[in-house]
Amino acid sequence: MTEFEIDAVVFDVLGTLVDEPAGIRAGIRELDPSLDESGVERLLSLWQSHVAREQQRVLDGNRPYVTSDALDREAAGLVAEAAGVDDRAAVAALALAGGRRLPPWPDSLSGLARLAGRFPLIGLSNASRTALLGLNAHAGLRWHQALSAEDARSYKPDPEVYRLAVTVSGVPPERLLMVATHAWDLRAAQDAGLRTAYVARPVTDAPTASDRFDLYATDLARLAARLGLS
């Protein structure tokens, strides 16, 4: 059992509930089946670096806000160019694969169902509204409410994104539990006053020795147990 009470659970989506790199890898392999694993990883890194850099430019005020869809299209174009593929339809398919056709982790669906029996569940993602709809449908994720950072015209870790969950839930931030596998995400949620739970994933940004999150779990089943669910 926890030493605090919460009224709702807020989930990061990309990385925490779906395996984003796996979806991008699958799209890259479809783009160029001749690539070996090192080639796929090189192009995956190119994609991820572009998206991270451009989101940071938005946060720094060096680029006007654009949705995740636009960043995915840009990343797909860069990957296709690096792979020597000049096919607009293939680039469009890659952008959709990397932004929406992302597989859930093995425990995601059962974990969400278990937690939904006790708490309202809110998805809070940097994915656009349209991308969030598509990836939720593809992965089979079920929410009581799904929120996109697009509504704040920014990206996490901007505090305005976390305030979306506070506003929609109608409860004080300390009554919300933010669940993520990215330590940077949890630090920002913590700064916004939310409770925090770290769930380990293979793609994780692991906590440092100085991080003090409220809960730590290896999967959603263990998180549910820590929240008192049998």
CB 146 within 8 A of CB 158: no
64-93 in b/e form (b: 16+ CB < 10 A) is eebbbbebbbbbbbbbbeebeeeeeebbeb
Predicted confidence band of residue 203 (pLDDT cuts 50, 70, 90): confident
pLDDT tens, position by position, 5-60: 999 999 999 999 999 999 999 999 999 999 999 999 999 999 999 999 999 999 99
The model carries a pTM of: 0.95
The Cα 144–Cα 170 span in angstroms is 14
Per-residue CA distances from 9 to 6, 27, 93 (Å): 8, 31, 33
What CATH class is the domain 20-99? mainly alpha
Report whether pLDDT(157) > 70: yes
| Percentage above 90 pLDDT, the chain | 94
Question: Which CATH number applies to 8-19+103-226: 3.40.50.1000, 3.30.390.50, 3.40.50.150, 3.40.980.10?
Answer: 3.40.50.1000
Location of each CATH 1.10.150 domain in the chain: 20-99
Answer yes or no: are the C-beta atoms of 76 and 94 closer than 8 Å: yes
- CATH 3.40.50.1000 domain extents, the chain: 8-19+103-226
